[in-house]
Structure 1
C-alpha cells in the first residue's frame, strides 16, 4: 500500500474497539481492526517529546517515509497515516502511523514469557528458533543498509514476532538516512545504551552502518542467552564500561555443544569489536546466519510448536500476567520496563481486580486514586523505595536504579510519575496502590480521609 502517495486512514476505516498494547519511543500503541480489509492493525500515536526540537508531525512523516521505503519480508509493513479522534477516553485529535500488527509481540516479550520465575533464571528459545531469529534480523538489516537506511535502535523490543514466531524489524523512530551514503550532518545518534557502540558515546559521533552492526552483535547474545545483557548494571556504569571494552560474557555459550553456535559466537564478537572498521557488514553476516540456520532448519517446526505450546498454556506467564513495554522520558534511561499483574483469587469474577482491604477494587479504581492523589503522593510519600521494593519484580533493574538514584523522595516520585506511570498506566499504578496500603498505611488513611 503506497503510503507516500497519500494513503490516509481515519475512524471510518477502523473499528471502535481500541486496545492499548504498549508504548514506544514516540507514543502509545493500540490494536484495532481495519473494517474493509478485516485485518488487525497497530496504531502508533505520536506524542510530542518536550525535549525534541523536531515537531511531532515531522517526526511522524520521517518515520513513516523510512518504513514505506523499507518494504521487505523482514521489516514491519506500514499501511498509512492515521488522523482522527481515537475512541479512547482522554484522547483528542491525534496523528499516528498504521502498521502491521504482530500477534506475538517481540523478542523481549518472548524472553519475558519464557523466563522461569520460580527458578529465577532466563530460558532461551530452542536453538533452531534462536538461529532463525538471528537470520531474519540479519536479512532485514542487510536490506535496510542496502537502501541507505540505519535503524539505530536494534534491540529485543524492536524485533517483532508474528503468530509463527517469524521476525520483522520494527520501530524506525531513530532511523536516519545512512551518513555513510549521504554524508549528511543531520544524522543523529540514538539507540538504547546497552546496544550502543563505544564510539557513539563521543558527543561528536555521526552514526554509520557499523552502529547497527555492533547492536546486532549484542542482540545475538541476548537472543542466545534469553535475557538482557549486563544484568544488574546501572545506566552510569554501562555508559562508563562499554567504551572501556566491557562486553557480555560468552563463557556459558562457548561451553554448549550445539552445531554452528561457535560460528555465531565468533560472529557476535566480531560485530561488537571496539574498532568499527573490523566489524563485518550485513551482506557477509547473513551468509553466516543462513549457514547455521540451514543446519537446524529441519527442526524449526518442532521448536516453534514447543514454544507456542508454552506461550498458550493456561499456566503460561502470558495468561497470568500482563507485560507492558514502556518508553523512556528524561528521568529514565532508554530501557523498557516490564509490568506483571498476577490473577487475583480473591476476586474470581474480576481477573483484573486486586484485593484491597475487605472489598475488591478494580485496577481502574486504584489507578484513578493514584492519579487523583498525585500532588499529595509526590509531597508526602517518604518511603518511596520501600514501596517500590514491593513491586520491584515489575521493573527492569535499570528503571529501578534510575528512580533510586534520585536524591529526594519528591524527586523519586516525580521520576515514577514521569516515567513508568506515564506509559505503563493503570496496571502499575494499581500495584503501587496495594504497596502503599502495605508500606504506608498512615499515609493511605490520611489520603482516604
Structure 2
C-alpha cells in the first residue's frame, strides 16, 4: 500500500471543533479546499509589506508587487506545463471559461482584426460539450450557441459515469469547439483526454478543458495533453478564493479578442479607438488580485513540495476506502465508477428515500462536512435518474480516520431514516 501523507497539521482551520465541540471532519474539498499555513502567511506578508498596484507605479513597493505577481505566474506556468505568456489571471475558472466563450463571440461580431477570424462562428457550426460538465463549462457554450446560431451537441455518459468515448462521432466537420472536463466533480471519473483532442484536431476544432478538479489532485501538463485552452481555480487547490487561471496556447491568445476592457490592458487610447496589449496582459483589465496570486504561488510551492504523484497516490487510497465503506450499505447508489482506476476521491451518492439535505444534516450534526445538492451539474444527475446527491470529497489533508468517521456517520444516516 502507498504510504499516506500526514499533513493535516499544516492546515489551521482543521484544528477547530463544530456542533457542540465535535472534531471537524472536512470532506468538502471538491467545493473548496482548506489552506495551509504557508499560503495564509504568504498572503498576509504581501499585504503587510508589499501591497501596491502592479504594472503601474515606479516606486519600490510597486516594483515588489509586480515582481511577486509575475513570479506567481511563472510558478503556475511551470506547475501545469505551460509557458509564462500562456497563463492569464482570472478571478476564477468560471471567468476563464467565459473569457474564451466571449472571445469567440467578439470574433464573430467582427472584433479583433484579421487573426480573430479563426474564432468566428456561423449558423450551423457546432459546439460540443459533455453530460459530465459543471455548469461553468456548459452554460457559457449554450449562450454562445444561442447568440451565434451555432448548434450545441454533447458526448453522453456511460452507466458507470464516464464519458462514452465510443460516441466521439458527435464531433463532426462542422464542430468548432469541444469543451470537456478533465475530472468530474460528481462522478470523480478522470477523462481520457487524448482521443478527444485527436478527434477535435482531425476536424479543426478547438479544445477547452475544465481542469478545476484535476489540477488540484493530479500531475497535469497542458502542453502534453495538447488542449488549446484550460481553466482552473485557486480555491480548489489550497490557494485563496478570488484567483483563477486560464491557459491558452500562445498563438491563440494572441488572436483571441479580449472579454473585459479598460485600464492596464491597452496600448494606445484615443477618443476614436484603442489598441490592446499582447497577452496575457490583454486579458487582465483593471486592478488585479495580487495578494491572491501570491497565495497561489505559495500553494503551488506547497504542492510541489509534496509531489503531485504522491498526492494522487494518497488520494487514490482514500477513494478506495470511501468506495469500500459505502459498498457496506445496501441500496446506497454511487454516482460514478465503483473502482478507483482513473478516479478521484470525489464520491457522490444517493441514499434511497432520503433527501440529500437530510443526509448532510445528520452528518453535520456529527461534525462531518459534505456537500449536498446538484453540485452545479444537473445534467449528469439527470443521467443517473436523481435530482441531487450527497458528496464526500477528500483532499491532501484527509486521512483514513476521516473516511472512517464518515462511513460511521453514514451508517447512522441509514439507521436514523430506516
> TM-score per shorter chain, which class?
under 0.3
TM-score under structure 1 length normalisation: 0.24
TM-score under structure 2 length normalisation: 0.25
Q: Which fold has the larger relative contact order, with Cα–Cα distance below 8 Å and residues 6 or more apart in sequence?
A: 2
